[in-house]
């Protein structure tokens, strides 16, 4: 019982020197990568830079106790930072104390919600976000985030929650562009794009192993941070209008209290739910990808508890909502992390950085941080989903394109909500008109196939229909109409047999529809039979009254029904 809720008891037992050294190496690499990333995401969330570092320390410690993934690195991520900025921006102004406190409240609500979902094993709710909706949302968020960071690259102010608002606001301030900022920002962006595309192949050509080359290439932002910081401090570019990070307190994460006033909770609970679910989905997909490579297992409900505890930790230590991040987890995995202890060591490293290294980032230009964000999020933008869904299924294409357009045009919250709603409605629409095939016997076999696709034997007195969908209220009437239409067309029909091999469930509406079909067919002197009814469906039918009143039989196989009921017109003899 205790081990179920504390996975640390599982892996902690067998922890040895070998795992320790691997975890330590991974932790050093991840720490170096996380320092600029944490500062950058705090900037994106509209919070002071130290909030990003604080959000990486206690949450990662708590996750290493409660989480089930061996490789997941928990902390601030791009999409959740954007969602935080949107949600908190609606209740407080950036830079005020109320803003930071509302971010704590958001983290607490989100963490509490995740823990509750985990305790009640409600993780399946996250499945309502379909893959196309997630893909569309991530793509649109990436574009929104990149656009929102342009202001730091250009050195001008800009506001807005939709692509149009942001671009219009930027355009209105274009005359105020700060040249040194642009040079630093564009330079850093270009460098980071090169690091991402060109450095790894270069290092491999220079003789490094591909895994090491990959890890070093991930440290590119650190180089950009060092070079631009030195440039700004030496050339005193801050006096030329280059925005810098400035003084960051040298401190361990402080103890903070979220504001739980009713009014604030009422405004933030819905964004908190959204952040929780999106964060959980993102985190689970990373964790599962990495776990599968080592044949390990992720417990979705325990993951909810792990991520929830991490967020609750963030709420009490000056952070903001966190989740398992893609980039940092992959680096952690590639650098050889074996257990969640690597996360704990990373937390230690970041704590040291928070105390000792923060004065070094005084002259770090915000443009560099914006550049790291832009390069990171543009890699999330993937328009290929549009093309793939277009060729695979129009309804999935509708969901992904609606999500992209509405996220860009009306903001992240409306975008993702519309995507979910649309995919549910399209699914219901599809199942509302199930495929029903009239089948006949393939000569010489006991198989029945669609009469429109195959040469099969039929009997004018016997109508065999294969129902290719579970029957429930949305399609119950459809079947009723279809059968009644079909039998009023064919005046010779004396038996209708429904082949139920693909009917996996039958709700009360469908039961009543079948009873109505049965009664109406009886009025027409036609009997209704069922064949190949599955065990669970048969169990249900036996509790209802249909079987007692059925004007026909239930056959084990469709061939049994055919043998009993059909007197087929024989196919003409060959050569006749």
Interface positions, 367-396, toward its own copies (CB under 8 A): 388-389, 391-393, 395-396
Should residue 128 be labelled a site residue for its own copies when binding is judged by CB under 8 A?
Answer: yes
* Whether the Cβ atoms of residue 334 and residue 151 lie closer than 8 Å to each other: no
Cα 214 from Cα 573, distance rounded (Å): 72
Which region among 17-25, 104-112, 329-337, 507-515 touches its own copies (by CB under 8 A)?
507-515
Cα separation values, 483 from 55, 184, 358, 437, 547, Å:
61, 72, 75, 11, 19
Question: Going edge to edge, which strands form the sheet with 436-441?
Answer: 448-450, 436-441, 462-467, 495-499, 527-531, 554-555
Q: Are strands 74-75 and 323-324 parallel, antiparallel or unpaired?
A: antiparallel
| Structure-token pair, residue 444 | 């010489």
Please, what is the minimum distance in Å from the beta carbon of residue 366 to its own copies?
37
Nearer Cβ to its own copies (169/393): 393
Distance CA(306)–CA(325), nearest Å, equals 14
Least distance from C-beta 416 to its own copies, angstroms? 14
Q: How far is the CB of 465 from its own copies (least distance, A)?
A: 14
Q: Return the number of the residue (368 or 513) whose C-beta is nearest its own copies.
A: 513
Q: How far is CA 316 from CA 108, 258, 542, in A?
A: 8, 7, 56
Alpha-carbon distance of 312 to 62, in angstroms, equals 9
Contact status: 4 vs its own copies (CB under 8 A):
no
**Binding region for its own copies (CB under 8 A) out of 72-80, 108-116, 349-357, 528-536:** 528-536
Q: Which of 478, 494, 559, 560 binds its own copies (CB under 8 A)?
A: 478
Residues touching its own copies, count (CB under 8 A): 75
3-state SS, one letter per residue, for 135-176: HHHHHHHHHHHHHHHHHHHHCCCCCCCCHHHHHHHHHHCHHH
Comparing CB distances to its own copies, the nearer of 292 and 569 is: 292
Q: Pick one of 519, 549, 569, 571: the residue that binds its own copies (CB under 8 A).
A: 519
The CA distance from 295 to 8, in Å, is 18
In the complex, least distance from residue 172 CB atom to its own copies, rounded to whole angstroms:
34
CB of 543 to its own copies, least distance (A): 5
Stretch that binds its own copies, among 17-25, 193-201, 312-320, 464-472 (CB under 8 A): 464-472
Return the residue matching tokens 């209220």. Answer: 473
Residue 257 or 292: the one with the smaller Cβ distance to its own copies is 292
Is 332 buried (19+), middle (13-18) or exposed (0-12) by CB count in 10 A?
buried
Q: Which is nearer to its own copies, 431 or 527 (CB)?
A: 431
Q: Please list every residue from 258 through 287 that binds its own copies, using CB under 8 A.
A: 284
Q: Please report how close the Cβ of residue 396 comes to its own copies at its closest, in angstroms.
A: 4
In the complex, what is the shortest distance from the CB of residue 390 to its own copies, in angstroms, rounded to a whole number? Answer: 10
Name which position in 75, 132, 142, 324 contacts its own copies (CB under 8 A).
Answer: 132
Considering the complex, state which of residue 24 and residue 484 has its C-beta at the smaller distance from its own copies.
Answer: 484
Gyration radius from the chain CA atoms:
31
Q: Which of residues 40-99 bind its own copies (CB under 8 A)?
A: none
Helical residues (DSSP H) of 317-362, grouped into ranges: 326-334, 341-356
Nearer to its own copies, 25 or 484 (CB): 484
Task: Kindly identify the residues of this chain, within the stretch 403-442, that bind its own copies according to CB under 8 A.
Answer: 423-424, 427-435
Cβ proximity to its own copies: between 535 and 570 the closer is: 535
Closest CB 549 distance from its own copies, rounded Å: 13
DSSP string over 354-391: HHHTGGGGTT-BHHHHHHHHHHHHHTT--THHHHHHHH
Q: Candidates 88-96, 144-152, 325-333, 511-519 — which segment interacts with its own copies by CB under 8 A?
A: 511-519
> How many CA atoms are closer than 13 Å to the CA of 468, on its beta-carbon side?
10
**Minimum distance between the CB of residue 530 and its own copies, rounded to whole angstroms?**
16
Sequence-ordered list of residues with C-beta below 8 angstroms from that of 179, at least 6 positions apart, any chain: none
Q: How far is the CB of 134 from its own copies (least distance, A)?
A: 9
CB of 482 to its own copies, least distance (A): 11
Residues 182-241 touching its own copies, rule: CB under 8 A, are: none
Tokens 């609970």 correspond to 269
Determine, following the binding rule CB under 8 A, whether residue 332 of this chain makes contact with its own copies: no
Decide if residue 139 touches its own copies (CB under 8 A).
no
Element (H, E) at 576: none
User: Which region, judged by CB under 8 A, interacts with its own copies, from 81-89, 351-359, 537-545, 560-568?
Assistant: 537-545
Q: Choose, by CB under 8 A, the member of 13, 174, 262, 535 that binds its own copies.
A: 535
Give the E-state strand segments of 358-467 in sequence order. 436-441, 448-450, 462-467
- Dist CA 531 CA 466 (whole Å): 9
Q: Is the dihedral of CA 426, 428, 434, 435 positive or negative?
A: positive
């Amino acid at each position: 019982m205790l081990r179920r809720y504390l996975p640390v008891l599982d892996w902690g037992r067998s922890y040895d020197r070998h795992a320790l050294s691997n975890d330590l190496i991974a932790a050093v690499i991840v720490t170096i990568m996380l320092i600029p990333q944490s500062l950058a995401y705090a900037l994106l969330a509209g919070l002071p830079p130290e909030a990003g570092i604080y959000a990486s320390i206690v949450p990662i410690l708590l996750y290493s106790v409660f989480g089930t993934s061996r490789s997941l690195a928990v902390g601030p991520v791009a999409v959740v930072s954007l969602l935080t900025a949107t949600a908190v921006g609606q209740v407080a102004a950036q830079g005020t104390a109320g803003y930071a406190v509302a971010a704590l409240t958001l983290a607490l609500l989100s963490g509490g919600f995740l823990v509750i979902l985990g305790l009640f094993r409600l993780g399946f709710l996250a499945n309502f976000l379909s893959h196309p909706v997630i893909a569309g949302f991530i793509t649109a968020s990436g574009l929104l985030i990149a656009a929102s960071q342009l202001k730091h690259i250009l050195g001008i102010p800009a506001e807005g929650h939709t692509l149009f608002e942001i671009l219009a606001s930027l355009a209105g301030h274009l005359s105020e562009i700060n040249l040194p900022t642009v040079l630093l920002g564009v330079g850093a962006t270009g460098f980071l794009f090169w690091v991402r595309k060109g450095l790894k192949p270069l290092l491999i050509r220079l003789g490094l192993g591909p895994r090491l080359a990959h890890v070093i290439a991930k440290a590119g932002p650190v180089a950009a941070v060092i070079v631009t910081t030195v440039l700004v401090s030496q050339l005193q570019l801050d006096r030329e209008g280059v925005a810098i990070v400035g003084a960051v307190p040298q401190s361990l994460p402080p103890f903070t209290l979220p504001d739980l006033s009713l009014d604030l909770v009422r405004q933030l609970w819905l964004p908190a739910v959204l952040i929780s679910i999106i964060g959980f989905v993102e985190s689970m997909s990373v964790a599962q990808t990495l776990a599968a490579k080592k044949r390990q297992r992720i417990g979705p409900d325990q993951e909810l508890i792990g991520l929830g505890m991490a967020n609750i930790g963030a709420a009490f230590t000056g952070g903001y909502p966190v989740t398992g991040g893609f980039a940092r987890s992959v680096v952690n995995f590639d650098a050889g992390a074996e257990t969640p202890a690597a996360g704990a060591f990373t937390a230690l490293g970041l704590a040291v950085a928070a105390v000792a290294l923060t004065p070094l980032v005084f002259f770090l230009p915000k443009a560099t941080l914006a550049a790291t964000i832009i390069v990171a999020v543009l890699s999330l933008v993937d328009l290929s989903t549009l093309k793939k869904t277009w060729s695979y299924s129009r309804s999935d294409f509708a969901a992904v394109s609606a999500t992209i357009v509405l996220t860009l045009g009306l903001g992240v919250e409306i975008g993702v909500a519309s995507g979910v709603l649309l995919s549910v409605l399209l699914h219901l629409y599809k199942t509302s008109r199930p495929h029903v095939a009239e089948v006949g016997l393939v000569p010489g076999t006991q198989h029945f196939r669609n009469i429109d696709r195959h040469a099969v034997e039929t009997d004018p007195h016997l109508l065999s229909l294969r129902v290719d969908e579970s029957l429930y209220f949305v399609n119950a009437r459809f079947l009723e109409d279809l059968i009644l239409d079909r039998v009023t067309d064919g005046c010779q029909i004396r038996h209708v047999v429904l082949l139920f091999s693909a009917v996996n469930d039958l709700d009360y509406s469908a039961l009543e529809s079948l009873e109505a079909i049965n009664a109406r067919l009886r009025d027409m002197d036609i009997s209704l039979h069922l064949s190949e009814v599955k065990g669970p469906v048969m169990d249900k039918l036996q509790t209802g009254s249909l079987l007692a009143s059925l004007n026909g039989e239930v056959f084990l196989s469709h061939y049994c029904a055919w043998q009993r009921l059909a007197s087929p017109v024989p196919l003409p003899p060959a050569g006749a």
